[in-house]
A and B are shown apart, each in its own frame.
Chain A
Amino acid sequence: MDKTEIKERLNGVFRDIFDDPELSVSEETTSADIEDWDSIEHINLIGAIEDEFSMRFKMREVSGMKNVGEMIDIISERGQ
């Protein structure tokens, strides 16, 4: 899948989860950049992304992703 499309759909998920219509993520975005992105919200975020792209992250990936860029890489491999 095209990474621009992934990023666009990811933005939709991030905006819903954090209820911020202005929010826009880049490859470099990490949880430190978004105030409400804590470990609890991370669970919802992962769930919503899995739903959006009809895929599952592996356990190692959930705890290992360093930034949105890595997330996009995984989605581009397995997402739909």
Chain B
Amino acid sequence: MKELEFPFDGRQIMRCRRAIKKQLLAEDTSRIHIKVAVLGGSTTNDVVSALELFLLDSGIEPEFWQSEYNRFYEDAVFGEESLEAFSPDLIYIHTTSCNLTLLPDDPGMDAEEVQHRLEEQFGIFRQVWYELTKRFSVPIIQNNFELPLYRHTGSYDGWGVTGKAAFISRLNVMLSDYARRNNGFYINDISYLSAALGLEKWHDQDSWFLYKYAMNIDVIPDLSYSIACIIRAIYGRSRKAVALDLDNTIWGGVIGDDGQEGIEIGEETAEGESYTMLQSWLKEYKSCGVLLTVCSKNDEENALLGLEHPSGVLRPEDFVSIKANWNSKDRNIAETAQELGLLPESFVFVDDNPAECAIVEAQLPGVYTVTASSVKDTMYRLSRSGCFETVSISGDDLDRTAMYAANAQRQAQQQKYTNYTDYLLSLEMYAEIHDFSPVYLPRITQLTNKSNQFNLTTRRYTEKEMEEVSRSADRIRLCGRLTDKFGDNGIVSIVIGKCQGETLHIELWLMSCRVLKRDMEYAMLDALAKQCRRRGITRIMGYYYRTAKNDMVAQLYGDFGFTLLNRSENGSSVWSLDLDSYEDKNHVIRVNEKETIHG
């Protein structure tokens, strides 16, 4: 919804929040339901109301539990019946510098005493996380701490032994260290947010005295948005690709008119320097796993000429797709999305022309558009909108562009073959399909929470839940990795089934869209059948839960040879497969070294 897109008018959102909520709930869209426990060290009501709107707008329907005022420590450490009964999927701890009870308050303290206080203060929070993790093992989002506005000693407060700002900065480093070492623990960086908005705007002691809000109520929507971005990232709903216009967006001038020597890029002019900086900034997104694509009204040869400018930073090979033609941009983005196996709503579109942005918004409402009125504005919007919010960077993120480049080579290869099976055989595919191993768990969880299209049940798991699944004795787990002569696709498919007597119920079946139509799903089914037989299972039950995004697998179990038992009105269905007469279906992928391909 436009009102909730960054940059938003927080005041207006709070004023009209009931109407906005009503409108969001009336939208015909499917959302995942998550239970969020909010443990506060100050009032949390408005934080929760704004967070609810941002999450609803991101396809997430939250249900909240809030601690009583400033009961975060007691509820976490001693337990609280209603919290246990609520059984959260995610915990947010809304504490701020108001909750720091051990800030140095005497300039006469020595370094040792301050260090002791620091450790004790950290220990209070660590105990909160420890107790919550022990009881719930769900993701925890924890605010770090904002700097104070008022200082007794000026700059000295930031570095002196007994400085409050110095104490807070050191505490924040301890929080970050803890977060890096503990999976499923995430920092909501209010130290950054309060600085970005300005401490003078952030702090409002009247809000504290009147309502026990730890910050100016005007900045609460910004705070909630920051939390929403982290939750989106945890549930795999951050954007995945950026579609870039070229002329006057990533360089100054028009390549078709000005020629390669005429466009502004490079250190010679202020404008050229700004575009060089923007290109470097964009290139760094690539290393964070964001896919770069071009969407420009240009002749392709001119577009490439611009991207080969000697002073340019972005090169044609940095892009997984270059669409430089005269088609409408929404059509180009839709096609790019399809080629990459992504949904349009995974895209951010950047163009200096507001009319192009408006057309894309109208035709593809899920795309987030950025009107590039200047380099600094583009960077501001890309950064502060949180559209590429990340909660971890895996090896796969670093290689993602290379993987898609290999896909382009595969497509070129496909054109050489008239028979599709011959093409598949020519790829010399090799799969490893095994039980989950600990080293793959983060990637398995990441893929599980990101996959929307080739996903039969769209069931989400936190890392902790996935760890539990991986230890469960009555489950069959498969994770499949696919390699071919063009490269390694990494972990691309996950299956989890629960054994009940002689029946296996499939709880999760998903595959990355980057390996569609490679028969990997058959290899997975063969492996599953084999595991089942080993355990004396004779029947597999498959469940298809229809969502707005997984139509592509509505018939998957039918294609597998399952029998349809029931199809409900909403399109979901239940299937069954008798294993007695099952024969292997994959004949093109070599699986687990020792075996040979059949047929």
Contact = CB atoms under 8 A, between A and B. Distances in A.
B211 interface: yes
Size class of the B contact interface (CB-based, 8 Å): 10 to 19
A61 to B, nearest CB: 10
A59 B210 CA distance: 7
B579 interface: no
Contacts, number: 38
B26 interface: no
Contacts of A59: 206, 209-210
A19 B19 contact: yes
> A interface, by DSSP: helix, strand, loop or mixed?
helix
Interface string B367-397: 0000000000000000000000000000000
Interface string A37-78: 000100110011001000000010011000000000000000
A10 to B, nearest CB: 13
B15 interface: yes
B11 A16 contact: no
B555 interface: no
A11 to B, nearest CB: 13
A25 interface: no
B46 interface: yes
A16 B9 CA distance: 15
Q: Report which residue of B15, B18, B19 has the largest number of chain A beta carbons within 10 angstroms of its beta carbon.
A: B15
B189 interface: no
Nearest to B22: A19
A43 B14 CA distance: 10
B271 interface: no
Interface string A20-44: 0000000000000000000010011
A6 interface: no
B15 A16 contact: yes
Contacts of A51: 11, 15
A19 B25 CA distance: 15
A48 B14 contact: yes
Contacts of A16: 15-16, 19
A47 B18 contact: no
A44 B22 contact: no
A80 B46 CA distance: 26
Given A59-B206, A59-B209, A63-B210, A44 B14 contact: yes
Interface in B111-136: none
A47 B11 contact: yes
Given A59-B209, A62-B210, A43 B46 contact: yes
A47 B45 contact: no
B345 interface: no
Q: Report which residue of A40, A44, A48, A51 has the largest number of chain B beta carbons within 10 angstroms of its beta carbon.
A: A44
A47 B15 CA distance: 8
Interface string B210-223: 11010001100000
Contacts of A43: 45-46, 210-211, 213, 217
Contacts of B15: 13, 16-17, 44, 48, 51
A21 to B, nearest CB: 9
Interface in B78-127: none
Nearest to A49: B15
B217 to A, nearest CB: 5
B13 to A, nearest CB: 10
Contacts of A48: 11, 14-15
A40 B209 CA distance: 15
Contacts of A47: 11, 14, 217-218
B534 to A, nearest CB: 58
Contact of A17 (B18, B211, B213): B18
A40 B45 contact: yes
Interface string B1-45: 000000000010011111100100000000000000000000001
Interface in B549-586: none
A20 to B, nearest CB: 9
Contacts of B17: 44
Nearest to A56: B206
Interface in B45-67: 45-46
A52 to B, nearest CB: 9
Nearest to B17: A44
6 contacts: A18-B18, A19-B18, A43-B213, A47-B11, A47-B217, A59-B209
Top-5 shortest CB links A-B: A19-B18, A48-B15, A40-B45, A19-B19, A16-B15
Given A44-B217, A48-B15, 5 more contacts: A16-B16, A19-B18, A47-B218, A48-B11, A59-B210
